[in-house]
A and B are shown apart, each in its own frame.
Chain A
């Protein structure tokens, strides 16, 4: 058994720096990890010949072979449960759940076994598993294809939960997740799969670190995943109206980077949390509570949340009513200035 040893000396993939989509960045991260560490195996439904329904594993089977990238039977509990066993046996499984809601059959394996094995074995048997989950809406998807399921995972002790918002972070955070000794639920905002950005594969990222993606002195928007570009657009619009609005990209939902978020909010005294998921008992609720606890004496107004409504995700013709958008964020920002109303 070779679990928990460092990766073998890197047959490091040559660094590249180019503009690519988030999907391509994720594909490259998987390819580079497969090339560098022969313990990495990638599997799931349709990830082989098809290259995944979102083409994230495109070309991996052809390049690395059937033993390293393979299609599974159609059973999500089976995919995650066998990943547990493979990880126990020294492999580093990276599994794909086809869509957010299709991961629910695996929830028992994730919550009761993936998340707890390290704890139950007093640290002796860590499970370096990455569970990739395309999540969120805004793509005109039918039911069960657009859930924001992050709260289920973030609420589960033992899981590290990550969601990138840019191709660069997608590459660097997925590499970090695959090197991580513990299980990571890697939530991929599917609406951003085809958004392009520059990726430098020599840049590394650390899990558990938020980043200020736009400085601002009046208001802090706190967002992750698909909501980051929405928050940036709102900040830009607010800037045109004379308000300096900053944006923090949370990037790792659990463990949460209190320091970065707290510093940003203390500097402005006003905060809005933006997320697609229903707001009740959500990650956004947790963020608002933490900000309230740590920044109370700095706040000029209560922390606001702009989230999805507490209803089943709306069908495609109605999802624009459901999703937080620029106007709803601007509306929330206005409520932070009650004297100007």
Chain B
């Protein structure tokens, strides 16, 4: 399953603007962007790719329990993230590292989680309303829908965007989210990154029709975009978030992209997919085409060098901070299970502390 006649694309894989009936409604949104905004798109795609590589290295070196690469999906993520306004709420799946970074999350929090120090631990009110990762597939689609229902009830000038993947579309939770979203005309954008693989299972096991068609049965407009085109991701998400925010009900975007890496560091894609397919998508890389486009608009080598240096700086910073992390205290196991003091948990925590102390310097 790849591009269709309905795929909205603003920037071709060759890095040139696409002018056709599908792109026409969205191109004005791109024309409004100044050079600094366009350069920010590029900066974030490049920097997060370097971060992603560094985190993968840290996992292989035993510093992380797991890594979840986002390689290849930077266009869909950066474009959609920049389309959201500060007051909007974002519910990620678990691969949207750059969306978090754009919203103000210190990506070290993701490192800490996947190192095994925490279960996430960031606070959405402090991270640009970027909510926690949800590792259970598709569950967050309902949470996001409920959040958006609250926005609707309050009449807030806000919208919600939820990320999920092609595998998640098979979960009952996602269908139920579409039912609720449509029923209450909630201000939500369902942002599906179709990266073509649910671990080893190809998207055609999840759906026999292009997934952007599915929401129409729920009464929700759906649109398919080239998810490796950061401009399409930005413009189409902007238009749909604006529609949702202005009371027009939920919207659904299918971003066609590709998981260039493994599902996680525990996975080996050579067991189930063909090199030719990876090559096809490699030639449609989101960063390469955008670099070509920026150069055609006059971006100079100094800019690209500066971005590369920023990427190296972040990688070095993450590496250093990872090695500096200290083991969390045992007391953290018992923290925040309940709001109020809990006699059972408190007794266990006290027992555990006394037990550990009983070793008196010996290793427990």
Residue positions of A touching B, CB distance < 8 A: 45-46, 48-51, 53, 71-75, 77-78, 101-102, 104-105, 140-145, 280, 309-312, 314-319, 321-322, 327-328, 331
Contacts and interface: CB of A to CB of B under 8 A. Distances in A.
28 contacts: A46-B199, A48-B200, A50-B200, A50-B271, A51-B271, A72-B205, A74-B138, A74-B198, A74-B206, A75-B170, A77-B172, A78-B170, A104-B136, A105-B172, A140-B65, A141-B65, A142-B65, A142-B114, A142-B116, A309-B348, A310-B337, A310-B345, A311-B334, A311-B345, A315-B117, A316-B115, A318-B330, A328-B355
B323 interface: no
A309 B117 contact: no
A74 B332 contact: no
Nearest to B66: A142
B28 to A, nearest CB: 38
A311 B328 contact: no
A312 B119 contact: yes
Contacts of A143: 119-120, 135
Contacts of B153: none
Interface in B185-202: 198-201
B113 interface: yes
Contacts of B328: 317-318
B201 A46 contact: yes
B171 interface: yes
Contact of B333 (A71, A318, A327): A318
B364 interface: yes
A105 B168 CA distance: 12
A105 to B, nearest CB: 7
B68 to A, nearest CB: 9
Nearest to A102: B136
Interface in B325-364: 327-328, 330, 332-334, 337, 344-345, 348, 352, 355, 359, 364
B284 to A, nearest CB: 24
B137 interface: yes
B12 interface: no
A46 B201 CA distance: 6
Interface string B124-158: 00000000000111100000000000000000000
B118 interface: yes
A293 to B, nearest CB: 23
A104 B135 CA distance: 13
B167 interface: yes
B200 A71 contact: yes
A8 B345 CA distance: 53
A129 to B, nearest CB: 19
Contacts of B199: 45-46, 50, 53
B266 interface: yes
Contacts of A317: 115-117, 327-328
Contacts of A311: 333-334, 337, 345, 348
Nearest to B136: A144
B280 interface: no
A21 B35 CA distance: 59
Contact of A309 (B65, B120, B352): B352
B173 A105 contact: yes
Contacts of A45: 198-199, 201
B206 A73 contact: yes
B346 to A, nearest CB: 10
A73 B170 contact: yes
B201 A314 contact: no
Given A105-B171, A142-B135, A74 B364 contact: no
Interface string B105-121: 00000000111111110
A142 B272 contact: no
A74 B167 contact: yes
Contacts of A328: 355
Contacts of A71: 200-201, 205
Nearest to B94: A142
Contacts of A318: 116-117, 328, 330, 332-333
A46 B330 CA distance: 36
Contacts of B352: 309, 321
Contacts of B170: 73-75, 78
Contacts of B206: 73-74
Contact of A315 (B118, B172, B173): B118
Interface string B259-285: 000000011000110000000000000
Given A75-B171, A316-B116, A310 B344 contact: yes
Which residue, B113, B171, B333, B337, has most C-beta atoms of chain A within 10 A?
B333
B359 to A, nearest CB: 8
A72 B199 CA distance: 12
B324 to A, nearest CB: 14
Contacts of A280: 344
A111 B328 CA distance: 38
Contacts of B119: 143, 312, 315
B116 A75 contact: no
Given A45-B199, A46-B201, A321 B171 contact: no
B117 A74 contact: no
Nearest to A141: B65
Contact of A101 (B65, B136, B271, B364): B136
B337 A312 contact: yes
B211 to A, nearest CB: 12
B266 A309 contact: no
A241 B103 CA distance: 59
A330 to B, nearest CB: 11
A293 B359 CA distance: 35
Contacts of A105: 136, 171-173
**Nearest 7 A/B pairs, CB to CB:** A316-B116, A50-B200, A73-B170, A74-B167, A321-B330, A49-B272, A75-B170
A160 to B, nearest CB: 26
Given A50-B199, A50-B271, A317-B117, A144 B168 contact: no
Nearest to B356: A321
Contacts of B116: 140, 142, 315-319
Interface string B61-82: 0000110000000000000000
Given A48-B201, A315-B119, 8 more contacts: A45-B198, A46-B201, A51-B271, A78-B170, A143-B119, A144-B136, A280-B344, A315-B117
